[in-house]
Structure 1
Amino acid sequence: MSKSAAPTGWGVWTWPNLVTAVRLAGIPLFCYLLLATEHYWQAAVVLAVGGGTDWVDGQLARRLNQVSKLGRLLDPFVDRLYILTALLALTYVHLLPWPFTLAVLVREATMVGLVIVLRWHGYAPPQVHFLGKSATSVVFMSFPVLVVAGLVENADVWAAPLGWALAWWGLALYWAAALVYLWQAAGLMRGGRARAHVVA
């Protein structure tokens, strides 16, 4: 979720959290369709809908004034879980090469390390920026397209070029965003005081 009013409670039973829970349920469904059946189109649709609607719960929380502590934790967790699950599943079925997978995993590990270092020194994570959101969206959009390209008959002619263009361009943006976050963190450390930024 993007920056908004501070949550006042855990707020478990809210419409935004229900949407997030439904998105979370899509992860095992995607894995089942991809790995245990031949319903590859359906797997791609579940992945595209589940990951592509990451903005819905945030919008609902703000419009319905139902921002909650649980939502602040669960929403980004589900977003990251979608990316990591899709990444590893597609690598397992040989739709993604290991160098690409490692490049994404190292980037994620870099960001986790950055947050740990900032927390250790009493800082909140740097505020999310447009480049970071765009990079994540482009990388994720490539995954369902690559499923179609690699597993749906006669779809590779159009899907493979589109999927790989999104994947490699998204990876470049992903690392560019990481460098911006590192630069922001360095600015926080040089500033010598904690600032209350919130990552969406």
Structure 2
Amino acid sequence: MTTAPTTTATPPTIYNVPNLLTTIRFFLAIGVIALLAFEEYWPALIAFSVAAGTDWMDGYWARKYGQVTKLGRIFDPFVDKIIICGTFIALVAIDGSSVAPWIAIVIVARELLVTSLRGMIEGAGGDFSARWSGKWKMVLQCAAIIIVLICLGMRDTPAWAWQAATISLWAAVALTLYSGWEYILAAAKMLRDGAKS
């Protein structure tokens, strides 16, 4: 009696389309920060919009074509944080951007906290996948940045445009705080359940 040879699945290579897209987004993020330093608001807006708009593509491609890699799982959220946190920090340095230092601090602190919680939970074998509040948080953050960049790029920015920027910034901060709290509760529950088992 002969047995069929066993085959082991070959792990996906790191040289794939999702990781290439993430690499492109990384350089776009660096470009946004550099352009803001030179007050090139419209080119920064274009670069940021492309980077933010293609954020979902690498994850979608990786899942659809089975190209999820350990590098991608680490590199993709890292680049997301460079895009968002780096841009907010750069905007703080620009007079009249409406981005106060405390706004950048809240956003960066939330990202550091959730990243630490994710590393702790997943390091222990748990699943700490992204939640919808976290995804919508990034949508609002991107929208706020885009509106602020448009306002900075206009010669005579109308008052209503800056009001829209202020509202979008407050909405982004509110959802950032809510999302962070939701992740804290989820992590606490996982740790509590793990301690009981």
In 2, Cα distance between equivalents of 1:162 and 1:128? 28
TM-score, normalized by length of structure 2?
0.83
Cα RMSD, aligned residues only: 2.4
In 2, Cα distance between equivalents of 1:25 and 1:91? 21
Measure how far apart 1:77 and its partner are. 0.9
Deviations 1:135-155 (A, max 9, x none): 121012211211221342123
Q: Kindly, what percent of the aligned residue pairs are identical? A: 27
C-alpha contact 2:12 2:67 (8 A) present in aligned 1: no
The equivalent of 1:82 in structure 2 is 83
- The answer to whether structure 1 residue 91 and structure 2 residue 96 are counterparts is no
Q: Which AA in structure 2 matches 1:88? A: I
The equivalent of 2:103 in structure 1 is 100
In 2, Cα distance between equivalents of 1:126 and 1:80? 17
The equivalent of 2:14 in structure 1 is 12
Deviates more, 1:17-26 or 1:149-158: 149-158
The equivalent of 2:114 in structure 1 is 111
In 2, Cα distance between equivalents of 1:139 and 1:109? 16
In 1, Cα distance between equivalents of 2:93 and 2:169? 17
Structure 1 pair 8–139 and aligned structure 2 pair: CA distance change class (3 A) = farther
List aligned pairs for 1:168-179, cutoff 5 A: 168-179=170-181
Measure how far apart 1:124 and its partner are. 3.4
Structure 1 pair 155–67 and aligned structure 2 pair: CA distance change class (3 A) = same
Structure 1 pair 161–130 and aligned structure 2 pair: CA distance change class (3 A) = same
C-alpha contact 1:26 1:46 (8 A) present in aligned 2: yes
C-alpha contact 1:40 1:152 (8 A) present in aligned 2: no
Structure 1 pair 78–115 and aligned structure 2 pair: CA distance change class (3 A) = same
Q: Which AA in structure 2 matches 1:59? A: Y
TM-score, normalized by length of structure 1?
0.82
The equivalent of 2:67 in structure 1 is 66
Number of residue equivalences = 186
The equivalent of 1:4 in structure 2 is none
The equivalent of 1:54 in structure 2 is 55
The equivalent of 2:6 in structure 1 is none
* Structure with the greater alpha carbon radius of gyration: 2
C-alpha contact 2:85 2:104 (8 A) present in aligned 1: no
The equivalent of 2:3 in structure 1 is none
In 2, Cα distance between equivalents of 1:55 and 1:88? 23
Measure how far apart 1:188 and its partner are. 0.8
Measure how far apart 1:64 and its partner are. 2.2
Deviations 1:58-101 (A, max 9, x none): 11112222222221111111111111110110011132111212
